Amino acid sequence: NLPPVPPVDVTLEPHHKMLPVGVVMSTLGAQVIVEGVEKHEPLNEGSILWLTESRKPLGLVDEIFGPVKNPYYIVRYNSESEVPAGIQGGTTLVSCVPEYADRVLNNKDLYRKGYDASGANDEELSDEVEFSDDEKEAEYRKMQKMTKRGVNDQNPDKRKNNKKKFSPRDHRLPTIPNAPA
């Protein structure tokens, strides 16, 4: 025995936007099967489906099956008497309202084409960068050195000014003021 289906006590306001989900395919006892259209984001169990024309709730999605691109939804009721009147297979349009829907795949990146960034013999790629031009390689290496030196050392003039000057001709070490002799 399945647990009882909770009632849907929600009324849509005029500002609620309805998005097409599919069409009622058939009614089997205390279940309504909705065939999803291809151009919608699949809904998760617990989402509320709505009768598009009357803007009244059809019920909660109890189960999902079929292909991801156009899944089928089962809306279950506690008894056949709870199935809304006037539902006809193939003609009754069904929608969802984003505020009352939970998407199966919320991440749009999941639909992008992926790739395998592995090297020969399925080994990990090395961190080594390949260049088609010697000048680009030289520029890259120069930038790597600059990064290693840090932000403060990027100005070569600044580095020269910070060093104590020592002339080999003087043969004397520079003196530090206020230092004990």
User: Tokens at residue 106, please?
Assistant: 């919320």
Q: In the prediction, which pLDDT does 57 show? A: 94
What SS3 string covers 1-70?
A: CCCCCCCCCCCCCCCCCCEEEEEEEEEECCEEEEEECCCCCCECCCCEEEECCCCEEEEEEEEEECCCCC
The domain 19-105 is classified under which CATH number: 2.30.42.10, 2.40.10.230, 1.10.1510.10, 2.60.40.10?
2.40.10.230
List of residues 6+ apart from 153 with CB closer than 8 A: 159
Residues recorded for the chain: 181
| Boundaries of every domain in the chain | 19-105, 130-162
Per-residue pLDDT of the chain (181 residues; tens, 9 = 90+): 889 999 999 999 999 999 999 999 999 999 999 999 988 889 999 999 999 999 999 999 999 999 888 899 999 999 999 999 889 888 899 999 999 998 876 655 555 666 566 666 666 666 667 777 888 888 888 888 888 887 555 455 555 555 555 555 555 555 666 656 5
